[in-house]
């Protein structure tokens, strides 16, 4: 994304841009750092889609089931209170989990659902509290989300973001750090 994209108005991105989406893999190495700071990854991660017709969602399910039949990871499907669809994948090894999310998304993009992708969410636990890392497919960047009761612990989020800014592409514009309340992880 450079000057020419600005001049020619090409800065609006969708989930079909693969070069940027490889950035999601950075969370593998970032997790090592998080673990050294006392945050341990949880065994599931979610891929969130914008609402789509039932027939489309059935196609997504069959595409994913077909390609995952040989994989060792488990997965499930769910729809949340906003009408958004989730594919939740499980793996007790974090690197495997990231790889699983990535390969799942790859299949979906190949089958033309890239435009419907919203985000992927990874979870960590620190002293019983959950810390989420949200990957936005539109912006190709990560941002933290730390719920604290019904609010968010913004101080913690800002600290986490600066802790990991070398490890991964952190969303610089904090006004885009939209929370994902109660992700089904």
Helices (H) and strands (E) in the chain, counts: 6, 8
| Minimum CB distance to another protein, residue 66 (Å) | 27
* Minimal distance, residue 55 CB to another protein, in Å: 21
CB of 64 to another protein, least distance (A): 21
Which positions lie near another protein, rule CB under 8 A? 6, 11-13, 48, 50, 80, 82, 84, 118-119, 134, 138-139, 151-152, 154-155, 157-159, 162, 165, 172-181
What is the residue-wise DSSP string for 69-82? TT-S-EEEEEE-TT
User: For residues 75 and 37, what is the distance between their CA atoms, to the nearest angstrom?
Assistant: 29
For the CB of residue 145, give the shortest distance to another protein in the complex, in Å: 9
Taking the least distance from each CB to another protein, the nearer of 59 and 152 is 152
Task: Check: CB of residue 51 under 8 Å from CB of residue 147.
Answer: no
C-beta closer to another protein: residue 96 or 179: 179
CA distances from 81 to 84, 85, 120, 183 (A): 7, 10, 17, 10
């Amino acid at each position: 994304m450079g000057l020419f994209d600005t001049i020619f108005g090409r800065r609006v991105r969708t989930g079909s841009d693969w070069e940027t989406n490889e950035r999601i893999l950075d969370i593998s190495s970032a997790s090592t750092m998080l673990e050294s700071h006392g945050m341990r990854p949880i065994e599931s991660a979610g891929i969130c889609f914008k609402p789509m017709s039932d027939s489309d969602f059935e196609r997504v399910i069959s595409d994913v089931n077909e390609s995952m039949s040989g994989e060792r990871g488990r997965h499930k499907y769910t729809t949340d209170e906003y009408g958004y669809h989730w594919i939740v994948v499980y793996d007790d090894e974090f690197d495997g989990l990231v790889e699983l999310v990535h390969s799942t998304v790859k299949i979906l993009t190949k089958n033309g659902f890239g435009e419907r992708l919203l985000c992927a969410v990874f979870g960590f636990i620190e002293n019983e509290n959950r810390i989420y890392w949200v990957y936005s497919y539109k912006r190709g960047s990560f941002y933290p989300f730390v719920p604290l009761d019904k609010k968010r612990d913004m101080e913690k989020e800002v600290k986490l973001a600066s802790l990991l800014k070398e490890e991964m592409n952190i969303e610089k514009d904090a006004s885009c750090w939209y929370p994902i309340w109660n992700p089904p992880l």
